[in-house]
A and B are shown apart, each in its own frame.
Chain A
Amino acid sequence: MALSVEEVVSKTKEIVAPWKDRQGGLIPVLQAVQKEFGYLTPDAMRTVSTEMRIPTAEIYGVATFYAQFHLKPRGRHVIRVCRGTACHVRGSLKILDKVKETLHVKENDTTEDLRFTLEPVACIGACGLAPVIMVDDQTFGRLVPDKVPDIIAQFE
């Protein structure tokens, strides 16, 4: 399953190619790299650096600045628990605790079997249904802690 270094390098080069001589390409390139490999692997970042002639330190700076970029492998599914205001006043902390308890996982961490990554997020934009969680691209609203295990069970 794991890709060889050569494969990572050549795939990354393909992603960088259309952006080589254009302005403002770093973030879209990193987004595409992450989409391809699931996270920003060291080999991919080094390739981006040489191909785009941007120092690795700068790339690392950008990658760690934005919450969306990950330097570690991630689970097959991502659970985003909204910790926005609307959800907070309707009890999102209890939902978060329930997810942590059910999966034995901490915030911003991944279960050992790589099934789930848990991410608290600031607002999903479905505040009308607070409290809300998102699993991958699906939104679940009007939650109570007891509903959490059923939702989790839907994702393998």
Chain B
Amino acid sequence: MPDPIIVLSAQGLQKSFASPAGPLEVLRSVDLVVHAGESVSIRGSSGSGKTTLLQLLGGLDVADAGEANFLLPGRGLVPAHLNLGKGVGFVFQNYQLMPELNALENVRLAAQVAGRPATGADAYALLESVGLGGRVRHLPSQLSGGECQRVAIARALINRPSVLLADEPTGNLDEATGAEVMRLLLQVVAESGTALVLVTHSREFAARTDRQWVLSNGVLSPA
């Protein structure tokens, strides 16, 4: 078997924040590697730094030390913070859709912002694959929470990222809806061959990923 392709890698990630009581060390030294197509989960108590870690992995913030890289097809592993919007897709706890754009436009926006030709047909196909074929003209305010999150998943996939970073994607949803969204998320990443890093509080959802990690005291370790 050939070596699996690495789509995300972090070495020695350190991050601390200034706080009134002196520097708050959130991440001490985090190393991780994610391979193409696999799904991994990260659990940890509230305030343990899960969101901070995802932001470093996706390049939304820069680590104090260490580096975070992701795979950009054709260019190999590249520093995350210099390549925003290119190799990774984000799914957030509170959907973060543009309230003035309808479902289809929200999905297309991701392609347009990334500077790709934004075909409505691609966006429509993705919405259909998350079960929203009949809701493409709805504004976020006209969609339920679960539907919003499905739009967000479609948006995260439109640029065909090699890895998808999901931060508590079911955190705002009731149990049944959450389970449905989770099923869908795992299904679409499997179908598209995208790797998934899932931050969740749920052991049950975590158990459905290929590998499970726990973040505590600023270090990531296998569960």
A is bound by B: no
A: residues with CB less than 8 A from B are none
B: residues with CB less than 8 A from A are none
